[in-house]
A and B are shown apart, each in its own frame.
Chain A
């Protein structure tokens, strides 16, 4: 039983909306990404692999992914706590905090980058305490972690918040009447209900962090093999006019993004099947 490509509809504007959508999509997104893939294809897969399979590229890709993972894990836990506090508790300043959660979305990454660097540099407001304790935050992997936590902060909170609002109080009450302690209710009833949304937010934060550039390069120190992130390596290759090298790293990052998109979709389909909604 094959479905027609488009079901006939009395709605006007089909041609125009198809035209605008596909033209813009192709020109702005698809053609450029296609150009990257074409570049990779003409360079040759073995050659792409040869570029990726160098110590410096591996280190950069691994660093980007590893610290992004730590940052996203922090944001997963903190984001759930933050969402819970914002929805369930009433305290002075709650509305301001709720509005401020989106600051990382609104504040340009370069601004965040120089601000965080100033704060966490060895002579900065927070950095000096670290210095007294004998370690540095800015210009080390700790600095990258802080920047990536910053950019990924809103994702989990914003996906989980509406789900917490939707939880029926009766479900929590039912758990209590069945003898469960509050902690058991939170662990066995609330957390599983939040899990799909939290995982979606986690994956979004991770995807954002892996590709992040602006807020990281100021605080990272950018030492090859140690604090050099993958997007920076692309910029360096481009400045050397090594287009093949840049494209190779770009393709591997695209592959990582694509993989994460797949995971997000799989999680959503899985949870939709189980609880009937995301």
Chain B
């Protein structure tokens, strides 16, 4: 141990070889912050600013009428029906794809991913063509008194379509990574199929499942294009929250439109917070792309 500290010196041109110059770094960070402020943060702020333009009371009052309440209830109901259906499908598809070896697996995965590359409006159009009054099946259903298009079942189907891949996409990579040894071990110990699923598989995939459901939920509550086509936009009956926002906005009821938008924006923020928490806390149990 020497009494005087060793002289500290480093030439100006030295920096770790795996990084950029401070100036480049500063410029890149600044450009990222500017672009994100203009494109992401400003729209988020403006939603709340416009909603509260005339004060909190005015904003809350705009939600007080029957149509607004009905829109919120309809959105909640559609989501409550679409989410479990999608979760069951996602688990079943991921189980099929990761636990069995069969021909055409890649093709099946492509089919499951298909809704991601189809325009929501085209999705809605497809449903109208299949179930609308003009179609064979749709006409018959209307005659029986159960219309699908311009009614709630159509909205549910449209929501299912656009959120279709979310849960499966999240589960498949996780379940591939985990392999099937644990399930095989449980089988050799005499456990039955459901027991293996609930005591071995489900605990292993629960956070990934929650993650998928979370993303699914955000999209389900906010879906606009596909729902706009099939809903018929009947106030108080088939107008979901996003549809109501459009109608209010087009009627120049700015505070009402932005207040409802603020509700959905809050939901988006909560989704992001929960998602980030899941990524921090359970990174090892999520698909590899979310680990950062």
Contacts and interface: CB of A to CB of B under 8 A. Distances in A.
A adjacent to B, CB under 8 Å? yes
Q: Is the interface of A mostly helix, strand, loop or mixed?
A: helix
B245 A111 contact: yes
Interface in B166-210: 180, 183-184, 187, 192-193, 196-197
Contacts of B14: none
Interface stretch (B1-9, B57-65, B139-147, B268-276): B268-276
A214 B154 CA distance: 18
Interface in A195-239: 204, 207-208, 210-214, 218, 230-232, 234-235, 238
B127 A5 contact: no
A33 B225 contact: no
Given A11-B99, A211-B122, A100 B46 contact: no
Q: Is the interface of B mostly helix, strand, loop or mixed?
A: helix
B101 interface: yes
Given A36-B122, A98-B292, A5 B102 contact: yes
B129 A29 contact: no
Interface residues of B, number: 104
Contact of A28 (B18, B39, B157): B157
B46 A36 contact: no
A32 B18 contact: no
Nearest to B138: A35
B102 A6 contact: yes
Contacts of B95: 13, 17
Interface of B: 17-21, 25, 28-29, 31-33, 35-36, 38-44, 46-47, 50, 85, 88-89, 92-93, 95-96, 99-103, 108, 110-123, 125-130, 132, 134-135, 157, 160-161, 164, 180, 183-184, 187, 192-193, 196-197, 215, 218-219, 221-225, 228-229, 241-243, 245-246, 249, 257-258, 261, 264-265, 267-269, 271-273, 275-276, 288-289, 291-292
5 contacts: A11-B99, A32-B127, A36-B125, A115-B46, A211-B117
